Amino acid sequence: MYIDKYISVAPMMDWTDRHCRYFMRILNPDIRLFTEMIVVDALMHGDHRKFLNYDQSEHPVVLQLGGNDPEKMKKAATIGAKAGFDEININVGCPSDRVKSGSFGACLMEKPKLIGNCIQSIKSAIDSPVSVKTRIGIDDFDNYEFLQNFVGIVSESGCTTFIIHARKAILTGLSPKKNLSVPPLNYDRVYQLKSEFDRLNIILNGGLNSIEDCLKHLKSLDGIMIGRHAYRNPWFLKEIYNMMLNNQNLEMSRQDVVKRMYPYIESQLSKGVKLNHITRHMLGLFSSQPRAKLWRSYISEHSKKEKAGIEVLENAFKKMAVSV
């Protein structure tokens, strides 16, 4: 019923790296995954493999770019398209000081024509879909007319998919972390946007913490994007998958998920990756389950030890008295 909707996990700095995405793909075979935001200058002048390395199982996977120069954005998007990413997303929603000083992210909501130019430049070079992730407003520009104007102008460039975090961004005096929760949610503004721009794909982000929330918004909007809840309680992604398949249950336990990670973990360990770089994304798998705290604490403590391997996970199960 919902398999054709745009259902995704948000790009989250320091969280949605390639190890996290591989883990999330096991939990949900169809959900759209996003990279962390990658600054175009870093991509163009650094090691592509460092930023663009991913496993083929991650598809569909979206490359999110941060930048404001149309030519640089085109070059970075071309690199991403050649690497095989399914979609290019432009970050016009991040409120951090670092992003503001670089003149990209949420502050670019004041420059919709520039964003439109970036999109036109990208689309002149690649055939991949291009989307925009943004907020409902910034600072004192906190009304529907501001959002309406932004989407109206940017959509003229050929962008048809807008992911809207239903909070405004406060660019001065509020940390990026607090920007995720302090500004109040305003879903009505997103619904109004969809009503006016019915031809566009309007995707809702922000405060989606239950299947009931997701189902409610999918009735009227074109998709949803789940953020922190998917990371802190990854099992939610399996529940989302069952919802996408109209309640056809994906037969898989939490223990099965961990076991399916073993070949990937062993492969990465052989390349010199530390175990805790992978398992840190798995700490919330048993959230709300008996002995979840034991799982989290044991993995946290032992996965960072020198030469830590699969045995850490096996021993964690033994401690929890769970048979795998």
The catalytic residue positions are 94
State both tokens at 66. Answer: 């941060």
State both tokens at 135. Answer: 């907020």
CA dihedral of 95, 131, 37, 127, whole degrees rounded to 10: -150
Q: What is the DSSP string of 88-127?
A: EEEEE----HHHHHTT-SGGGGG-HHHHHHHHHHHHTT--
Provide CB contacts within 8 A for 112, sequence distance 6+: 149, 150, 152, 153, 154
- Let me know: does 78 contact 71? Beta carbons within 8 Å: no
State both tokens at 277. Answer: 């770089």
- Beta bridge mates, 89: 64, 131
Task: Specify the DSSP element, H or E, that contains 302.
Answer: helix 292-302
Task: Specify the DSSP element, H or E, that contains 2.
Answer: none
Task: Specify the DSSP element, H or E, that contains 142.
Answer: none
Task: Specify the DSSP element, H or E, that contains 82.
Answer: helix 70-82
Alpha-carbon distance of 277 to 303, in angstroms, equals 9
Q: What is the DSSP letter of 43?
A: H
Alpha-carbon distance of 254 to 292, in angstroms, equals 12
DSSP-derived 3-state class of residue 59: coil
State both tokens at 26. Answer: 């096991």
State both tokens at 208. Answer: 């989606």
